[in-house]
């Protein structure tokens, strides 16, 4: 075959005939074994020119001192169109990313941007961009997967409908949150992800994801710890409840019989005997109060304490408390007053617990007030709320201790040599009872200047159980 000179026909730089001719000529002249060259030509389809991309491969064959060129032409139009689309999409994705480049590069959440080449085919989701955190989180290097389809990168996701979901986000423009995405057949905590999928312009979809394995493990550990603690608490409450019942029976006889002895119904006692028996009686009563408080407290903690709601006049409760507390107040020459801003207020609450709240506050007020002081119970009402306070002129409480007072067993002076008797459960119970009524309690106090405990509850409480 004659040698051919490379030259154009002058009509068009991309003239297909020239491409073929020049390829053949190139192979002859350079002696290159295989030479490939892409070209383009327009063919008429329905009277309109349609571009066709082709790839010319020229192969030099030598036989009997003769050189021949084998010419192969492939139609690569579809491949070219796909490549063009990918290129366009990557430019668009690049533009979108540039706006948030800083965040995209530095955030610790993984970001993938997929382009849906064909709106009707979720297999055409192609990864166009990925941030550094993405490869840190998945362990899959970005350079290995960029340009690949989602199915090629993570084939296992199809059975979890993930590609379908991403395509749906592109089509509907609605974001989606996918919790607990994981790989493998079984749920493996090591691979748990939280994924947010959101639509981006130009048929792109953004996927922000994070490995939440550690968080999940912590949550599960916390849940486990909570269940164990609840279990332990239940066991403790049951133990306290059982023990209290067992202790109450012998205590009742200790108190009853020492009461009988002290009345001298069975013979007179000398001074020492009287002193010791009254010690037994006082200690017995103290122990009984502690047991009763403990029982109440464990009942509340176990959620077994119920409110029995009824309508009652507060004045009656105040009178009862006054009557009960008067001997104690008189013994210490403490003035016991009350002030109410409306006439005979009526409320709906658990009258027994209401009385117990007031009793605990007033007996504390008397206990922690020195000889000759004063204690005042007061009531203020609005249409919906009743506010009750117990004010004393006693020893007061340092600001450092005020927020701890309502914790069970807390006592400002907890030493063995403390001056005031007590269980440390009174205020904890008061706090729980007030809470059960949908209210709250607080203290205003200054050391040496007395204390005021105030609680507020609704005038007509409706919840029947705690």
- Does 405 interact with ligand ADP (rule: CB under 6 A)? yes
Report in angstroms how near the CB of residue 423 gets to ligand ADP at its nearest: 4
Question: Measured from the CB atom, is 231 or 413 closer to ligand ADP?
Answer: 413
Q: Which candidate, 426, 455, 297, places its Cα nearest to that of 359?
A: 426
At a CB cut-off of 8 Å and minimum separation 6, what does 114 contact?
125, 126, 127, 128, 150, 166, 204, 205, 207
Sheet containing 125-130, strands listed edge to edge, beginning at the edge strand earlier in sequence? 125-130, 110-116, 204-211, 193-200, 176-181
Report in angstroms how near the CB of residue 396 gets to ligand ADP at its nearest: 6
- Does 410 interact with ligand ADP (rule: CB under 6 A)? yes
Q: Which candidate, 313, 311, 401, 390, places its Cα nearest to that of 358?
A: 390
Q: Residue 466 class from Cβ within 10 Å (0-12 exposed, 13-18 middle, 19+ buried)?
A: middle
Tell me which stretch binds ligand ADP (CB under 6 A): 129-137, 216-224, 249-257, 359-367.
Answer: 359-367
Report in angstroms how near the CB of residue 436 gets to ligand ADP at its nearest: 17
Tokens of 2: 């004659």
Question: Measured from the CB atom, is 32 or 370 closer to ligand ADP?
Answer: 370
The residue nearest ligand ADP at its CB is 422
Report in angstroms how near the CB of residue 264 gets to ligand ADP at its nearest: 31
- Does 368 interact with ligand ADP (rule: CB under 6 A)? yes
Q: What are phi and psi of 96, to 5 degrees?
A: -60, -40
Helix (H) or strand (E) holding 74: strand 66-75
Report in angstroms how near the CB of residue 359 gets to ligand ADP at its nearest: 11
- Does 110 interact with ligand ADP (rule: CB under 6 A)? no
Q: Residue 230 class from Cβ within 10 Å (0-12 exposed, 13-18 middle, 19+ buried)?
A: exposed
Report in angstroms how near the CB of residue 442 gets to ligand ADP at its nearest: 13
Using the rule CB under 6 A, which residue among 125, 167, 379, 397 binds ligand ADP?
Answer: 397
Using the rule CB under 6 A, which residue among 153, 422, 437, 455 binds ligand ADP?
Answer: 422
Q: Rounded CA gap, 362 and 453, in Å? A: 10
- Does 455 interact with ligand ADP (rule: CB under 6 A)? no
Question: Measured from the CB atom, is 39 or 394 closer to ligand ADP?
Answer: 394
**Is residue 23 within 8 Å of residue 55, measured between CB atoms?**
no
Q: Is 371 helix (H, G, I), strand (E, B) or coil?
A: coil
- Does 436 interact with ligand ADP (rule: CB under 6 A)? no
Using the rule CB under 6 A, which residue among 426, 441, 456, 457 binds ligand ADP?
Answer: 426
Question: Measured from the CB atom, is 212 or 294 closer to ligand ADP?
Answer: 294
Using the rule CB under 6 A, which residue among 124, 131, 203, 423 binds ligand ADP?
Answer: 423
- Does 373 interact with ligand ADP (rule: CB under 6 A)? no
- Does 334 interact with ligand ADP (rule: CB under 6 A)? no
Question: Measured from the CB atom, is 82 or 290 closer to ligand ADP?
Answer: 290
Q: Rounded CA gap, 368 and 324, in Å? A: 17
Question: Measured from the CB atom, is 14 or 435 closer to ligand ADP?
Answer: 435
DSSP H stretches of helix in 342-393: 351-367
Tell me which stretch binds ligand ADP (CB under 6 A): 104-112, 243-251, 338-346, 411-419.
Answer: 411-419
Sheet containing 385-392, strands listed edge to edge, beginning at the edge strand earlier in sequence? 335-340, 374-381, 385-392, 451-458, 440-445
DSSP H stretches of helix in 208-313: 213-262, 271-301
- Does 392 interact with ligand ADP (rule: CB under 6 A)? yes
- Does 412 interact with ligand ADP (rule: CB under 6 A)? yes
**Is residue 451 within 8 Å of residue 394, measured between CB atoms?**
yes
- Does 291 interact with ligand ADP (rule: CB under 6 A)? no
Tokens of 106: 């530095």
Neighbours of 162 (CB within 10 A): 21
Sites of contact with ligand ADP (CB under 6 A): 360, 364-365, 368, 392, 394-395, 397, 405, 410-413, 422-428, 451
């Amino acid at each position: 075959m004659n040698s051919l000179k490379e030259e154009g026909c002058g009509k068009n730089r991309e003239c297909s005939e020239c491409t073929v001719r020049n390829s053949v000529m190139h192979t002859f002249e350079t002696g290159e074994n295989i030479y490939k060259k892409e070209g383009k030509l327009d063919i008429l389809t329905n009277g309109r020119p349609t571009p066709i991309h082709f790839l010319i491969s020229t192969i030099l064959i030598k036989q009997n001192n003769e050189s021949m060129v084998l010419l192969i032409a492939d139609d690569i139009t579809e491949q070219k169109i796909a490549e063009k689309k990918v290129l366009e999409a990557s430019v668009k994705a690049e533009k979108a990313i540039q706006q948030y480049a800083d965040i995209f590069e530095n955030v610790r959440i993984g970001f993938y941007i997929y382009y849906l080449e064909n709106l009707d085919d979720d297999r055409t989701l192609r990864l166009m961009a990925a941030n550094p955190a993405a490869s840190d989180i998945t362990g899959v290097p970005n350079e290995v997967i960029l340009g690949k389809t989602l199915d090629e990168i993570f084939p296992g996701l199809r059975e979890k409908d993930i590609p379908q979901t991403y395509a749906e986000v592109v089509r509907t423009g609605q974001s989606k949150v996918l919790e607990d995405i994981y790989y493998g057949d079984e749920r493996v905590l090591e691979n748990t992800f939280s994924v947010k999928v959101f639509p981006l312009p130009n048929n792109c979809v953004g996927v922000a994801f994070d490995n939440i394995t550690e968080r999940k493990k912590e949550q599960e550990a916390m849940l486990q710890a909570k269940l164990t603690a609840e279990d332990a608490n239940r066991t403790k409450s049951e133990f306290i409840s059982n023990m209290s019942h067992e202790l109450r029976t012998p205590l009742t006889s200790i108190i009853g019989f020492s009461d009988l002895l002290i009345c001298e119904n069975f013979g007179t006692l000398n001074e020492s005997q009287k002193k010791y028996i009254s010690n037994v009686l006082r200690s017995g009563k103290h122990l009984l109060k502690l047991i009763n408080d403990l029982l109440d407290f464990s009942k509340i903690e176990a959620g077994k304490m119920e409110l029995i709601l009824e309508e009652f006049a507060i004045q009656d409760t105040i009178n009862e408390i006054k009557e009960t507390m008067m001997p104690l107040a008189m013994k210490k020459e403490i003035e016991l007053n009350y002030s109410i801003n409306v006439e005979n207020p009526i409320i709906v609450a658990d009258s027994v617990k209401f009385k117990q709240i007031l009793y605990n506050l007033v007996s504390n007020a008397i206990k922690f007030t020195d000889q000759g002081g004063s204690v005042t119970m007061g009531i203020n009402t609005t249409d919906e709320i009743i506010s009750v306070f117990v004010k004393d002129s006693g020893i007061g409480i340092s600001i450092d201790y005020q927020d701890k007072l309502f914790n069970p067993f807390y006592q400002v002076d907890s030493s063995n040599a403390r001056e005031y008797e007590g269980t440390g459960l009174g205020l904890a119970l008061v706090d729980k009872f007030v809470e059960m009524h949908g209210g709250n309690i607080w203290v205003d106090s200054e050391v040496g200047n007395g204390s005021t405990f105030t609680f507020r509850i609704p005038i007509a409480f409706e919840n029947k159980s705690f």
